[in-house]
Amino acid sequence: MSDTEPAILAEHLAKRYRAVRAVVDVSLRVDVGETVGVLGTNGAGKTTTVEMIAGLRVPDEGRVRVLGLDPRTDRARLRQVLGVQLQHAHLHHALRVSELVDLYRSFYPDPRSAAELLDLVDLAGQRRTVFDKLSGGQQQRLSIALALAGRPRVAILDELTTGLDPKARRRMWSTVEQLRAEGVTVLLVSHAMEEVERLCDRVVVLDGGRVLALDTPAGLVARSGTATLDDAFVALTGKDLEETR
């Protein structure tokens, strides 16, 4: 690992699920400290791409490095520097919130305190609640806290705020802003243009498993000749925003 290395380097990734070509050719370089949004309609290949970057899926083709580490061969070291929040959390449903937080904290040498983690996602009042009894939004918030337990240098957040109420959404935005202030690199899969515009230095737009554009939010708007990022997205993909949800 060296500091001159990009935080994330993905080169010509491809992944197929039987007949479905989920990711056809995705290359992406994210510098240390950047927050990069991943946008695309449903089925564009966003989750598959970030799962390959996180080492959770093996690409059929291409290469991934996270802080210079190969997710396939440097798994143990990668786990220490990468935090991943996925769309569907697979957590131990019978454990209490405090037990899950302690379990995740135990994986790392210098974890955030349990109080800090619960405070980050506003779940201090639910510490004694069993995971199964949390609302969907609370479960999602917990999975975000767990992704951040080990003070990752790179955080992958897949649909951070989908399904959250406006207050929780704003809270998560300030969490990402805090990560950014700490120099953490963030890859953020999102369907919310307002979120992307507010949080992201650059945005990669995926469609049909390929990169359609990679630019700053303002750059995407300028190149599309549109007034807003919403309109730029529609102009780039030819698809309605409703198709992203």
Give the residue carrying structure tokens 């925003």. 241
Residue 17, token pair as written in the block: 């699920």
Q: Which of 8, 13, 36, 48 touches ligand ATP (CB under 6 A)? A: 48
Site track for ligand ATP across 4-23, x = CB under 6 A: -------------x--x-x-
* 44 binds ligand ATP, rule: CB under 6 A: yes
Toward ligand ATP, which CB reaches closer, 24 or 179?
24
**Helix ranges (DSSP H) in 151-205:** 166-181, 193-199
CA distances from 26 to 12, 63, 93, 211 (A): 5, 10, 35, 6
Q: Of the candidates 186, 191, 200, which has an alpha carbon nearest to the alpha carbon of residue 233?
A: 191
* 45 binds ligand ATP, rule: CB under 6 A: yes
The 10 Å Cβ neighbour count of residue 106 is 9
Q: Return the residues of window 95-124 that contact ligand ATP according to CB under 6 A.
A: none
Q: Which of 26, 35, 46, 67 touches ligand ATP (CB under 6 A)? A: 46
| Edge-to-edge strands, sheet with 82-85 | 61-66, 8-17, 20-30, 210-215, 202-207, 35-40, 185-189, 154-158, 82-85
Toward ligand ATP, which CB reaches closer, 90 or 128?
90
Interacting stretch for ligand ATP, rule CB under 6 A, among 36-44, 97-105, 215-223, 231-239?
36-44
Q: Are 34 and 180 in contact (CB under 8 A)?
A: no
Shortest approach of ligand ATP to residue 49 CB, angstroms? 7
Interacting stretch for ligand ATP, rule CB under 6 A, among 3-11, 46-54, 97-105, 177-185?
46-54
The full DSSP string for 32-47 is TT-EEEEEESTTSSHH
* 54 binds ligand ATP, rule: CB under 6 A: no
Q: Which of 12, 42, 73, 216 touches ligand ATP (CB under 6 A)? A: 42
* 217 binds ligand ATP, rule: CB under 6 A: no
Q: Which residues of the chain form contacts with ligand ATP (CB under 6 A)? A: 17, 20, 22, 40, 42-48
